[in-house]
């Protein structure tokens, strides 16, 4: 795993240990918390138009960033509990996607269809 991600994972491990939260951080609970945080992220975009979603005001952008951080932190904790290297998993998934969705000829249309 990349050094900065590993350092963040180590810091999360210490943070949870210092608060005696480890017993509650099962893969199931972390996946549930991740889902909740992803929904909180989505909530910021719920009634926005496409254009509005692309040009968030600074205060909203900061709130979205905080929710994105929550998603990342829970994802890192889940990967740590399951022994999954997220960088390797992401690279592998990108190779699968590249094979599944080859580059279309010029002018072929929208992604995914």
Dihedral (C-alpha) 19, 38, 60, 72: value to the nearest 10 degrees? 50
Helical H segments across 21-57, by residue range: 27-43, 50-54
pLDDT in 10s for each residue of the chain, 113 residues: 469 999 999 999 999 999 999 999 999 999 999 999 999 999 999 999 999 999 999 999 999 999 999 999 999 999 999 999 999 999 999 999 999 999 998 877 666 65
* Residue 113, domain member (yes or no): no
* Residue 106, domain member (yes or no): no
- Domain with 32, as residue range(s), is 3-98
| pLDDT score for 4 | 93
* Residue 107, domain member (yes or no): no
Q: Tokens at residue 77, please?
A: 């904790």
Residue 12: name the closest of 92, 86, 62 by CA: 86
pTM above the 0.85 mark? yes
* Residue 56, domain member (yes or no): yes
Report the CATH number at residue 68: 1.10.287.1080
* Residue 67, domain member (yes or no): yes
* Residue 54, domain member (yes or no): yes
* Residue 112, domain member (yes or no): no
* Residue 50, domain member (yes or no): yes
| pLDDT score for 113 | 54
């Amino acid at each position: 795993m990349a050094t900065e991600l590993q350092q963040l994972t180590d810091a999360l491990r210490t943070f949870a240990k210092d608060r005696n939260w480890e017993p509650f951080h099962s893969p199931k609970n972390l996946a549930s918390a991740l889902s909740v945080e992803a929904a909180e992220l989505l909530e910021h975009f719920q009634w926005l138009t496409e254009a509005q979603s692309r040009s968030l005001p600074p205060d909203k952008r900061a709130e979205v960033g905080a929710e994105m951080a929550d998603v990342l932190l829970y994802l890192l904790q889940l990967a740590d509990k399951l022994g999954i290297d997220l960088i390797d998993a992401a690279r592998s998934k990108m190779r699968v996607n590249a094979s599944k969705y080859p580059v279309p000829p010029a002018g072929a249309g929208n992604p995914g269809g």
